[in-house]
């Protein structure tokens, strides 16, 4: 009798384990991450005689020593004490037209490596009207501080010395967000790079905070024909050209803005792409080799991976 009970208990344990695994995969909220396959990605694209370069770089959060962080510390609250334990994703975007740099834009995102929860983000614009915006993720919303020159004479001063300051708070929807983790839009690329495409469900959801509102992303795998790619891999001090034909895993992204009231909905943006977003992944190398989508002003945009570093 005891042996029969033991066998029944074993069967029940196995069934519960399989059920838990199935629920985890179906929800798409917990994935087994693998080693990070890249440390830097460089994309290029062009539209209407204007070329765009986007650089992604991963480092440790404690590698950044910045006077601006020290200046912001009193307003960052809980953010300032946890950044050194985070990963840091830096995204630099620059545009050129007729050989001249038109705009330079940079984002720094501190996040938890396992959960992809964002802790803080810095956005820096180096155009004619420069500014810095810091975002601190909290339990009830995101706090933002904007720093800008108090007068034209401050434009050439470092941001830590700018006197124009405003603080805003963007609350999450009342009654909860329904999100396990709230991340940053750019971390979609990191997620797809650290999980094998075959282990991802057909579709899953991810919550991210944009400029002023929360967004729910639905990420779905699509079928794709073969794709010819041409890039360079940076190894130590040299670059090696890579040309090959692959059958990529393609992920589409659709979005839903989650506003706490009935106000105007914010337009989602990932690298300036607002809709029809597709990310093409090299299955074997786990590299996002192409990013396409539509900008509401300029139309269709294609960003091709040109250089990557391991």
Q: What is the DSSP string of 9-77?
A: HHHHHHHHHHHHHHHHHHHT----------SEEEEEEEETTEEEEEEEEEEEGGG---HHHHHHHHHHG
Tell me, yes or no, whether 4 lies in a domain.
no
pLDDT (tens digit per residue) in 112-162: 988 899 999 999 988 778 899 999 998 889 999 998 998 888 888 888 788
Tell me, yes or no, whether 155 lies in a domain.
yes
Q: Averaged over 50-66, what is the pLDDT?
A: 80
pLDDT of residue 97: 78
What integer best gives the mean pLDDT of the chain?
81
pLDDT of residue 69: 62
Tell me, yes or no, whether 92 lies in a domain.
yes
Contact 193/38 with Cβ under 8 angstroms? yes
Which band of pLDDT confidence, cut at 50, 70 and 90, is reported for residue 71? low
Residue 3 pLDDT > 60: no
Tell me, yes or no, whether 112 lies in a domain.
yes
Tell me, yes or no, whether 285 lies in a domain.
yes
**Token pair of 34 as six digits:** 């693998």
How far is the C-alpha of 141 from the C-alpha of 214, rounded, in Å? 9
Q: Please give the residue range of the domain that contains residue 240.
A: 31-309
Give the residue carrying structure tokens 């080693």: 35
Strands 227-235, 299-309: pairing kind: parallel
Tell me, yes or no, whether 22 lies in a domain.
no
- What percent of the chain has a predicted confidence (pLDDT) above 70? 80
Structurally, the chain folds into a number of domains equal to 1
Tell me, yes or no, whether 15 lies in a domain.
no
Tell me, yes or no, whether 293 lies in a domain.
yes
Strands 214-222, 227-235: pairing kind: unpaired
pLDDT (tens digit per residue) in 174-229: 877 788 899 999 999 999 999 877 777 888 999 999 999 999 999 999 988 899 98
Give the residue carrying structure tokens 């069934």: 15
């Amino acid at each position: 009798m005891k042996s029969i009970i033991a066998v029944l208990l074993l069967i029940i344990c196995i069934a519960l384990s399989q059920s838990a695994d199935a629920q985890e995969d179906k929800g798409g909220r917990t994935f087994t991450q693998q080693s990070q396959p890249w440390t830097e990605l460089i994309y290029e694209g062009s539209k209407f005689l204007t070329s765009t370069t986007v650089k992604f770089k991963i480092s440790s959060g404690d590698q950044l020593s910045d006077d601006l962080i020290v200046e912001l510390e009193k307003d960052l609250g809980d953010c300032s004490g946890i950044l050194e334990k985070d990963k840091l994703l830096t995204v630099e975007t620059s545009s050129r037209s007729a050989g001249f740099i038109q705009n330079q834009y940079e984002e720094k995102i501190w996040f938890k490596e396992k959960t992809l929860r964002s802790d803080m983000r810095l956005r820096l614009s180096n155009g004619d009207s420069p500014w810095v915006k810091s975002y601190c993720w909290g339990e009830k919303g995101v706090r933002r501080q904007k720093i800008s020159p108090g007068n034209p004479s401050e434009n050439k001063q470092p941001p830590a010395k700018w006197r124009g300051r405003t603080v805003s708070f963007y609350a999450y929807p009342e009654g909860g967000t329904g999100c396990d983790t709230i991340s940053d839009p750019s971390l979609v690329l990191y997620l797809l790079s650290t999980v094998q495409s075959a282990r991802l469900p057909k579709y899953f959801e991810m919550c991210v905070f944009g400029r002023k509102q929360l967004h729910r992303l639905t990420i779905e795998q699509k079928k794709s024909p073969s794709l010819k790619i041409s890039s360079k891999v940076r190894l130590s001090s040299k670059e090696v050209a890579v040309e090959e034909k692959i059958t990529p895993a393609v992920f589409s992204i659709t979005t839903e803005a989650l506003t706490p009231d009935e106000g105007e909905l914010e337009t989602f943006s990932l690298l300036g792409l607002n809709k029809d977003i597709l990310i093409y992944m090299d299955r074997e190398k786990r590299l996002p080799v192409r990013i396409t989508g539509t900008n509401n002003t300029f139309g269709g945009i294609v960003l091709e991976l040109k250089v990557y570093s391991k």
